[in-house]
């Protein structure tokens, strides 16, 4: 068995990306297929196996799989609405049979934390939390070098801590005021829509129909005042929340990952200023905000592969 390479697989509703990753975090082979072209998971796995075998990588230390509705405890995909494969799919067993090696199923926020620890911007940290800003807000907690998963696998759901418990925005979870309704790609767009009547007629955002979060962040980088107000508000809510959340695990750092966070150091700096304003006195100056060093497009593959090395070592 090849001890130095793991296979990272990221199954999405639209595409499935996969890569052969060295234990130093180098992707030495990368592939991608449209998930919907494969009516059964067996056919998808066969295709991945074929591509990898042809490229000359016959076996692995292990396989890390990220998938929607994946249950890390059972290794099954369970009733995923965004996949063609219905019911319960024993995805780990299927990969293990075909590749003749062990595999694990991984929550993407946790994979981001392990990826950051092994290959990213947290190699020197034993206590940190990754904050993944995407459609929602995910987090992965590392304490004393161990990933915290919780009794039922729901540790690190920082996106569903309510920061406006009284009258906050309605969340997809059915509750109000959850952090991710303010701080996420979706949250940024909601702020824009809530404030749209106050948008000055000379704002760059007037020229964009239904801007997404990245468009809003782009206008901020061009020094647009209205976009800056939205970005400042987002950084404020995140910074003061992370100040409070420091009272949970007292980490050395929060590592920000995902589109809007990685739009540049400027956002990280704003979050840091708000954190310092809001944190309890004994922790002032002691909790860092770092930018992820994993590139967005390959982060899931790197995180899945990293978790494979992490768990099986």
Residues 6+ apart with CB under 8 A from 238: 131, 179, 182, 183, 271, 274
State which residue, 236 or 298, has the beta carbon closest to a second copy: 236
Minimum CB separation of residue 212 from a second copy in Å reads: 26
Which residues, at least 6 apart from 174, have a Cβ–Cβ distance to it below 8 Å? none
Shortest separation between residue 63's beta carbon and a second copy, angstroms: 25
Which CB atom, from 119 or from 128, has the smaller least distance to a second copy?
128
Q: What sign does the CA torsion over 294, 299, 305, 307 have?
A: positive
Which residues of the chain form contacts with a second copy (CB under 8 A)? 126-127, 141, 143-144, 146, 148-166, 173-175, 240, 244-252, 278, 280-283, 286
Looking at beta carbons only, is 218 or 244 nearer to a second copy?
A: 244
Among residues 58 and 165, whose Cβ is nearest to a second copy?
165
Identity of the residue, 107 or 262, whose beta carbon is nearer to a second copy in the bound complex: 107
Smallest gap, in angstroms, from Cβ of residue 175 to a second copy? 7
Cβ–Cβ under 8 Å, residues 7 and 19: yes
Structure tokens at 204: 């760059």
Cβ at position 142, least distance to a second copy in Å: 11
Beta carbon of residue 238, minimum distance to a second copy (angstroms, whole number): 13
Q: Rank residues 39 and 150 by Cβ distance to a second copy and give the closer one.
A: 150
CB-based contact 105:71 (threshold 8 Å):
yes
Q: In what order do the strands lie in the sheet with 146-148?
A: 146-148, 137-143, 128-133, 253-257, 288-291
**DSSP code at position 171:** P
The residue among 131 and 302 lying less far from a second copy, judged by its C-beta, is 131
Neighbouring CB atoms inside 10 A of 259's CB total 18
What is the nearest approach in angstroms of a second copy to the Cβ of residue 161? 5
70's enclosing H/E stretch is: strand 70-71
Of 47 and 78, the one with the shorter C-beta distance to a second copy is: 78
Q: Nearest distance from residue 78's CB to a second copy, in Å?
A: 12
Structure tokens at 137: 């807000």
CB 79 within 8 A of CB 69: yes
First CA to last CA distance, the chain = 14
**Integer CA distances (angstroms), 13 to 38, 73, 136, 244, in order:** 11, 21, 17, 35
Give min distance, CB of 25 to a second copy, in A. 25
Report the residue number, 48 or 238, with the smaller CB distance to a second copy.
Answer: 238
What b/e readout covers 113-126, taking b as 16+ CB neighbours within 10 angstroms? bbbbbbbbbbeebe
Q: What angle do CA 172, 296, 302 make, to 5 degrees?
A: 105
Least separation in angstroms between CB 223 and a second copy: 29
């Amino acid at each position: 068995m090849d001890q130095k390479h793991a296979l990272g697989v990221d199954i999405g509703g639209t595409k499935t990306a996969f890569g052969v990753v060295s234990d130093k975090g180098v992707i030495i082979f990368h592939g991608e297929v449209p998930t919907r072209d494969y009516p059964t998971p067996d056919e998808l796995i066969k295709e991945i196996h074929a591509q990898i075998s042809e490229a000359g990588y016959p076996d692995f230390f292990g396989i890390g799989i990220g998938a929607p509705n994946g249950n890390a405890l059972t290794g099954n995909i369970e009733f995923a609405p965004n996949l063609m494969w219905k019911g319960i799919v024993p995805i780990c067993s299927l990969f293990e049979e075909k590749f003749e090696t062990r595999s694990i199923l991984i929550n993407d926020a946790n994979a981001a934390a392990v990826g950051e620890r092994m290959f990213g911007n947290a190699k020197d940290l034993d206590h940190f939390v990754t904050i993944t800003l995407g459609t929602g807000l995910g987090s992965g907690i590392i304490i004393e070098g161990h990933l915290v998963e919780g009794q039922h696998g729901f540790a690190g759901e920082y996106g569903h801590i309510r920061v406006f418990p009284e009258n906050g925005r309605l969340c997809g979870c059915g509750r109000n005021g959850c952090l991710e309704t303010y701080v996420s790609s979706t949250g940024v767009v909601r702020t824009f829509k809530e404030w749209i009547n106050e948008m000055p007629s000379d704002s760059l955002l007037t020229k964009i129909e239904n801007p997404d979060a990245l468009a809003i962040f782009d206008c901020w980088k061009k020094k647009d005042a209205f976009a800056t107000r939205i970005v400042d508000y987002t950084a404020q809510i995140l910074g003061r929340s992370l100040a409070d959340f420091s009272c949970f695990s007292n980490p050395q750092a929060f590592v920000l990952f995902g589109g809007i966070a990685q739009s540049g150091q400027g956002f990280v700096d704003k979050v840091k200023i708000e954190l310092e304003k809001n944190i309890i006195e004994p922790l002032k100056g002691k909790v860092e905000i770092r930018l992820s060093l994993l590139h967005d497009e390959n982060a899931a593959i790197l995180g899945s592969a990293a978790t494979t090395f992490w768990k099986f070592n």
